[in-house]
Amino acid sequence: MIKAGKIRLFSLDRRQIMAILLSCLATALSLKIPLLLKQVIDHGKMLSRTSSLGQIGFCLLISSLLEAGSQYLLSLAGDERIRDLRLLLQEKLLRLPWNYYKENSRGSLFSHVLNDSSVVKDFTVSVLPSALVSLLTVAASLGILLGLDVKMTLVIVLTFALIASSAFPLGKINEHFAYQNQAKLSRVSADLDENLANIKLIKLTNAQAGVLQKFRGDLQDLFALSRKTDAVFSVTGPLQTVLTLAGFLLILLYGSQRLANGSLSLGMLSSFIMYMFGIISPINNLGNFYMSYAEARGSLKAISEILAQPDEADPGQELPKKAADLKVRDLTFAYPGSQSPVLRDLSLDFKEGAKTALVGPSGAGKTTLINLLTRLEAGYQGQILLGDLEARNCSLPAWRDLFSVVAQDNNIFAGTVADNLLFGLEKSVSRSDMIQALQVANLWPELDLDTQTGEGGWKLSLGQSQRLQLARAYLRDAPCLILDEATANLDPESEAKVSQAVDRIAREKIVIIIAHRLSTIANADKIYFLDQGQVQAAGRHEELLKHLPKYRAYVEDQLRPLESR
């Protein structure tokens, strides 16, 4: 059961309790059948036999109906449990810091959400209720058997005790391999997800052989581990079967001897045999319980590690409704575990109604600065201010509502153009508003609202994908528009269309541009040239070109490929 974000393996809800009660009633009726059969065999009168047979039929019918109701309730509980558990994990994953996703593969997270949650669900709604009913069945059966014949019951108890004694060491072995198998499966899932996500690159670089070799290696590791597990169970499984058959043989031999000397009737022996076979399945359930528990505990451990991760810090202070400039003061930042700061003592101003460009060689810290502004990264020194408000003191959702980000990455989801326009919007948007957004982004009537984008936007061109992100930014209407290499992979015609769209959308907004192309940054109101994590100079394009040799060399380097054509 899930309470306050915590998952308990040994917890039952009302639906499960009702299902267990129905199953217990069905078991009670089933336990009466061997006693009725004893009367049929031992009593010679036809009337008594007819009455007992009628009662047996009634018990079988009602028991079946009760068991069906129990299974239905457990199925409903299982469907509800897996839904709630996966929803809990998805909610948690959406609240985790961005750094968590850089350290954990998507395939591994998929495996935890889908596979581990299924293991936990199966234990809580199937294995656990079944074990409880099995325990009651065995206890009730032994109670009845003791009432019938103490000696025969003791033989059965001792025999089954010997058989059950092999379950615990087998469970410990299974627990050991369960953890390892789940880790290997997560690794295979991660590789498969990565391969499918990069299938285009794999084909273009003819990397199929290398990818397959790596995947084969992971599968071989999983196979080797499975083979060890199979080897263990190939010994313990048959051994447990031999012990079980030997136990049955011992019980039958003892019962036959009692029948021969007249101390046990045929009806009594038949009842004992029925009870004995009736408790085989419950005893197996109890014997397998520890193995199922070990597997569930392994899955729960992986899930609990996700749930125990700290959420993104959110102090909750709301932002003022009036517009304000964005400022960075004495900003220094180093990634966790690194001794070298990526950014050092940065101070920048981003003003409303102005285009500010961040320019510099790769590794200068431009994208890191954007991640800090949008609070994807944390742990910086210095200040990031909106007016006089420090970012760290503000509500995280409210702070991120300040920004619309159009990145070089293709952030398009499978679905229609309309689905992508409305993504992340809480306000009501009409169809005419969406068409206006497409017009502003130079996409109408090139694309219709019902046009399918395909997974990752593969049905759209790069230019269309970038302009669709701009149309989404237009509808979002955030005070600050960030363009992170938004035109890096576009041809001149597409770049011109994107630039026109930016000019329309960016009026009266803070616009921050990261770009390498001269055509994108030349008309910026202010350019910050970053190198080695520091601001080397700031000004307009002409000023930097005249006074900063590093900037001039940077521009010449950007132009050199064009001059050599």
How do residues 476-522 score in pLDDT, each as one tens digit? Answer: 888 899 988 877 666 777 777 777 777 777 777 899 998 877 777 88
Residue 182 belongs to domain with CATH number: 1.20.1560.10
Q: Which of 276, 307, 338 is the last residue of a domain?
A: 307
pLDDT score, position 173: 65
pLDDT score, position 66: 93
Buried/exposed 216-230: b ≥16 CB within 10 Å, e otherwise: eebeeebeebeeebe
Query: Is residue 314, in this structure, part of any structural domain at all?
Result: no
Query: Is residue 317, in this structure, part of any structural domain at all?
Result: no
Query: Is residue 318, in this structure, part of any structural domain at all?
Result: no
Together in a domain, 338 and 259: no
Mean pLDDT to the nearest integer, 303-319: 83
Together in a domain, 125 and 254: yes
pLDDT score, position 562: 44
**Geometric angle at alpha carbon 474, from 197 and 385, rounded to 5°:** 90
Q: pLDDT band at 46, cuts 50/70/90?
A: very low
The more confidently predicted of residues 360 and 106 is 360
Question: Which range of residues forms the domain containing residue 341?
Answer: 326-563
pLDDT score, position 237: 61
pTM, to two decimals: 0.74
Q: How many domains does the chain have?
A: 2
Any idea which of 3-12, 107-116, 287-296, 326-335 has the lowest mean pLDDT? Answer: 3-12
Q: In this predicted model, what pLDDT tens digit does every residue of 516-543 receive, in sequence order? A: 777 778 888 999 999 988 999 999 999 9
Q: pLDDT band at 358, cuts 50/70/90?
A: very high
CB distance 471 to 504 below 8 Å: no
Say how many Å lie between the first and final Cα of the chain, rounded: 68
Together in a domain, 297 and 347: no
CA-to-CA dists, residue 18 to 9, 74, 352, 414, 485, angstroms = 18, 9, 63, 43, 60
Together in a domain, 136 and 260: yes
